[in-house]
Structure 1
Amino acid sequence: MPELPEVETTRRGIEPHLTGRRITGVVVRQPRLRWPIPDSLPRQILERRIHGVDRRGKYLLLDCGDITLLVHLGMSGSLRIVENDSPPRLHDHVDLALDSGKTLRLHDPRRFGALLCFDPREGPHPLLAELGPEPLGDQFDGDYLHRQTRRRRTAIKSLIMDSHVVVGVGNIYASESLFLAGIRPRRAAGRITRAEAFRLVEAIRAVLTASIEQGGTTLRDFVHEDGSHGYFSQQLRVYGRAGLPCLRCGTAIRQVVVGQRSTFYCPHCQER
């Protein structure tokens, strides 16, 4: 599914088209997404001005004053900016027409996405309330991660993929970050040293930053808001490379299952 870098890439792509614009029309063709779109949503956001586009984890947040529109892309969703009179395609479920003559269009073949709204004055939406810190934010540092690992038997890869601990470190990025930090993915989190926690935080930051700069990882269903694909997959060091030589040392990359997810690592570069 689209991960944090893909969502951030989308946010950056749509933000210039949305900020300062007024919503002049709302068309809901298919309300049955992962959570049904409320019948009241079109009335709540119609004629409101969008003050900004933020991101929390994998959620996009459209700031409309005392209403915030929450968007999740699910497994196959994408957002595009199209002309107001552009005919919808199959799986184009929602349109937000803007006073610029453009439309923000939600495309979601599998319908695992979401389009909800809430009043931010009443606190965060329940989907956001228990999320951990942002991996690129100041709250996520080596001391924090080391505290989170104490007395944990769970695999370190599963821990950094737990959105209650830190948001947005998906399966691909977890494998890549652990490789960069030289840590085996199945190692018990409680055995991670403070120095390793600092190294892992820096690796997570580096991997996610590089992916955002290159437009996200090319996944089967992920496309940018303009329809183009991400390119970070060209830089993957271990993910999806089982049996191939490590790009650093030449040792064959191994594949295991951690937390029911395919996981890749180099047994030489990740000795511990």
Structure 2
Amino acid sequence: MNQSIISGLGNIYSNECLFHAGILPTRISNTLSFYEVKKLVFIIKLVLKSSIKLGGTTIKNFICTNRIFGLFHRNLYVYNRKNKKCYLCNNLIISIIQNKRKSFFCDFCQY
């Protein structure tokens, strides 16, 4: 989530990438193993390619000039799902504030 470590990922994609990589957003980056970093890089590329293919993420009041709305919001596993069941384990999604940004995660699927 720290933009000084990996920049360019928005809050939505940061939350989703960390979920799919199984990494808690509260983890300090230097505690990640080489395998976890490699997996995270792979997941980031996968999530961003998928989002681009689906036209991005349109949430709430975003207005497109060409009237084409992004469909990636249909693929969100954790973002903006506080107190809803995790699709993988049925535990509730948790939300916390980190650096003035909301982080959403499943404390069972992510560690």
TM over 0.5: yes
* Per-residue Cα deviation, 1:139-184 (whole angstroms, up to 9, x for no partner): xxxxxxxxxxxxxxxxxx22xxx1x544421000000000000000
Note if contact 1:224-1:230 (Cα within 8 Å) is conserved in structure 2.
no
Q: Does 1:259 align with 2:103?
A: no
Partner in structure 1 of residue 55 of structure 2: 215
Equivalent residue for 1:176?
16
Q: 1:202 aligns with which of 32, 37, 42?
A: 42
Q: Among 58, 62, 77, which residue is 1:237 paired with?
A: 77
CA distance in structure 2 between the aligned counterparts of 1:195 and 1:269, rounded to whole angstroms:
17
Segments of 5+ residues of structure 2 without an aligned counterpart are: none
* Equivalent position SS for 2:108: coil
Aligned length: 111
Aligned letter for 2:77?
R
Which has the larger share of helix? 2
Structure with higher strand content: 1
Q: What is the CA-CA distance between 1:259 and the residue it aligns to?
A: 1.3
Q: What TM-score comes out, normalization by structure 2 length? A: 0.92
CA-CA distance at 1:230 after TM superposition? 1.1
C-alpha distance in 1 between matches for 2:7 and 2:49? 14
CA distance in 2, matches of 1:254, 1:181: 17
Percent sequence identity is 36
TM-score by length of 1: 0.39
SS at match of 1:179: helix
- What amino acid does structure 1 have at the position aligned with 2:53? E
